[in-house]
Every structure is written in C-alpha cells, then in structure tokens.
Structure 1
Amino acid sequence: MTDAIRFADDWARWHAERERNLAAPHGFLAITSLRWLTPEPTRFDDAPGRWSSTAEGVVVELAEGEELDVGGTAVSGRYVFAELAERASVFARHGERALEVAIRGGQAILRPRDPDHALRTGHVATPAYAPDERWALRGRYLPFDAPRAVTVGAVAEGLEHVYDAPGRVEFEPPDGGGAHRLTVFNGHRPGHLTALFTDATSGVTTYAAVRSLSIGPPDDAGRVALDFNRAVNLPCAYTDFATCPLPPAGNRLPVAVEAGERLPRERGGPAA
C-alpha cells in the first residue's frame, strides 16, 4: 500500500466515524427544539413537565404520571438540575427521547432529542473535499505569556462565549504566499488545541459561519500538525437549534482551504 492510499484510507475511516457520531440516535441531528429557560415555569410540546431557570438551578415540575430517568434513577414531581457548568450538559431520558439540560453563555437551555426527528432520519452523508496530502501541514505553536480570555460571538443571536486561548499557531498554506496565524483554544483532551476559522471557501463551498480544526499537542520544539483534511462542521451547519461559537477576530484566512468538510445537504450543499 502506497503512502497516498494509506492517507486516503485513514481519512475515509475518520470521516465514516464522524458520520456515525453525527447520526447517533441522540446526536445533534435528533434535536427537535432549543428552549431558553426563564424563571416562569413553562411547558413545551416536545418534553414532559414544566421547566424553569431558578437560583437553585434548572427545575422541572413533572405532572402526575410523568417521569424522567436521570442517571439511571427514576424521578417524578419536582426535580432540580443543580450546579450545571458552562458548556457541560446533563441528559435525562423520557422513553426513546433524551432531554439535554445545559448552560450556554450563562443561560439555561433545554434541548429535547428524538431519534425519529426528520433531520436525523433524512440525513445524507456530509460532502467533503477529497483528501489531499498537501493540506496536511506542519506549523508552529506560539504560546502567549499567559492564557487570554477571548470573547466570541455565537450563531445564536445575542449569545457570547468566553474561551481561554493559550496561544496561536502559525503555518504556511501549500501554495505559499506567506505565513498565517490562528488563535487557538484548549481542545477536548489535555494538551490538544482547537482552531475555529473561516476562509475564502466559507459561504461558497463550505459553511459560512465557522469550521473547526483539532490540533494535537505541540512537540518539544513547538511544532504542530494541522491536517485541514479533517476540518469539520460544527452542529450549527446542520441544525438551527445550536449555539455554536464564531471564530475569534483574526481567524478569517484569506486563502481558500479546499480541504475538509463542505456545506452539508441540510444547508443546500451537494450530495456527498
């Protein structure tokens, strides 16, 4: 097997796993609504109980005969989801549905998820650029003296997210033209980094608002690998019930990154 074939096969396996996670029974494609909770207890048509955001936490008041499963425990009556952390989620189950309770931008939300939701059952695989080894780049990590709190906008109007940025990564596109820098945030695993960005393909062949790139830990010399073939869409590329962050200032690349995931069919993109 040649290196080029191995590279393409590795990418194909990665992308297939991405699609499996995206189309999971309670993944983002299963979300049926996004509810911004207030102090006023409110009943919604896609979730049992009356929901509110209080000083105690998120409260659900279940009527007689209504029940939720929270962490394997059946709950009824009044239940408090206390001490929710920003960007964390807690899930309750109601039959085949999952109810996500979370804090986003300091505000409490409820997002019911139904495996039979049409967006999930009708999902067509996300189109992507063919894997291209030229876009598997080497870059350099440039840490700040101390992490900086960076406020970014969100696809949800009026919402803001705050992330710690430990530094920037610098790289040169495959066709040259000089170095570019991206502000990076901490990734989902220790030592890993995440870059939110747009580029000259955004709004043309890729989703307009944002794409995301995971970057492994820098080596001892500060070198990092940036494989733009694995640039991915965030949930907002598929559903209006997302609260995705937008890229920080300065993370719009003037070059066309013709690599990674493209505009999904859900947003008018081509068949995969």
Structure 2
Amino acid sequence: MYKRILVPTDFSKNALNAVRYALDLYAKLNCEFYFLNVFKLENYTTDTLIIPEPGSAEFEVAKAKSEENFVKLLDMLALHHDNPKHIYHTIPTFTFLSAAIKKTISNKDIDLVVMGTKGASGAKGVIFGSNTVKTMEIVSECPVLAVPKEVRFTSPKEIVFPTDFKSVFKRRELRYLIEIAKMHEATVRVLHISKKPFLKPEQEENKQLLRDILDEVAHSFHTLTEKDVADGITAFVESRDSDMIAFINHRHFFFEKIFTKPLVKEIGYDATVPILALH
C-alpha cells in the first residue's frame, strides 16, 4: 500500500527544501509523491475578464515553463534522492492554489500535504506565508506538514504535542503523529499550557484517553504555567531542542492565535521546526 503525499511547489529554494524533507521523512515507506505547480500567466490578473484558455499562446508558454522546471526537479531527485520505494508524479495546472490542492487531494486520494512555509516572494519576517496558513485552514481531509526554510532534515526524535485537554481525542486524528513517531522512534511530549495548575474532571478524562491512544509510542506529559500559549510552546521547543510540533486543528483551538497573522510577533522570526497540523 503506497502512501500518497502531495507537495505543492513554486520551484523556490524553500519549496525544494520541503520536497527534500518529505522524501527523507518517509524514506522507509512506499510512497507516491505528487508535485503540484500552479503556474502563473504574466499578463493575467483576477481583474482580467478574459481567462486564458489551454491552447492560447500565453497559456502554453507558461505551461511549458512549468513542465521544464519539473524536468529539472526530477533530474535533481534522481541524482540525490534515488529511492526505489518512491514514485514521482508531476501536476502543472492553472487555477487558484487552494482549488488545485483540494482537487488533487480528492482525485488522488492524498494522505498528507507537505509545504514550505514561504513562497518565492519570501517576504522578510514572515514565517508562514499566506498560502501555507490558508492551506492549513482549508484542508480538512488530511494532515498538512509545514516545513520552515532553514530546517534541514534530521530524523525527528522528539515531537511536541500541545493540547488544552478540552476536546475528546480520537485515534484516527492522531494516526499520522503515531506513524511518524514509530518510523523514527521519536518520543511524543504532550504539552499543556495553562494559568491554572490543575485540570477539570473532563480534562483529566481526556488526558487519560490520550495516554491510552499514545500507549504504542514513547510519550510523556508536561505542564507550563505561561500566560501566552505561543510563548510557552516556543520556550519548551527551544529549551529541549525538539524536532517537530504537532497539533489537532480544531476550529476552536488555539490555531487562530498562533498560525495566522500575529504569528510573527508571537513565535518570533526564527521558526526552527516543522509544524504538523492534524485533523
């Protein structure tokens, strides 16, 4: 059974870094990688009433450039990432990125999306580009892994899982976290950040459920009494030199606080570990 992984790319260094990270993270598994490029037409904007059609000169030139970049990417992977367990597919398309991602997830039965955190524009001081944040928000069919551009792959040995214990955990939600932990013999550090040192009865029940679910991997529980969730996560990860952060993207969870615009101020300018958004 092949795992199907979607990697959107704009052929930037950051996108290439995400490709490499995904290949190394899943080096031991049989995988089909789908590389998706949404190509742009120089003279086309959303204000233009006439949408370029396949067959038009401008459309075909842009598509040919995308395909040419794919050839270069596959040549590079053949040279540096020749893994008999991996099969590569390329998808050049002209549409909105979010629509292309959703369509590919549906058509190819994708298990995981892996993205770089910044696009080719690479705006200074912005850790998670708007495309990455939007993808984490709109994709509910599978997990999304965001890889900061400075991260070089090392086998993850410690994965931080922040939670407020307010939601009932389900095994299927945590399947990919457990899979990665098993593959790399990583320990899951469950982190609870709260101003109060005690849990309510329902939180205690959810904590016990989580303990049962994580029974098949090494894990431990930690509590920080921090005012700010993002500061607490950052301090914990940096002090322990952790390798990844995983969280369940519940709508009411702290996703909005951390992974939208204020992220730059809250996490700082040096996101150093990949973020796995589970659903």
Q: TM class by shorter-chain length?
A: under 0.3
TM-score of the two chains, using structure 2 as the length reference = 0.26
TM-score, reference length from structure 1: 0.26
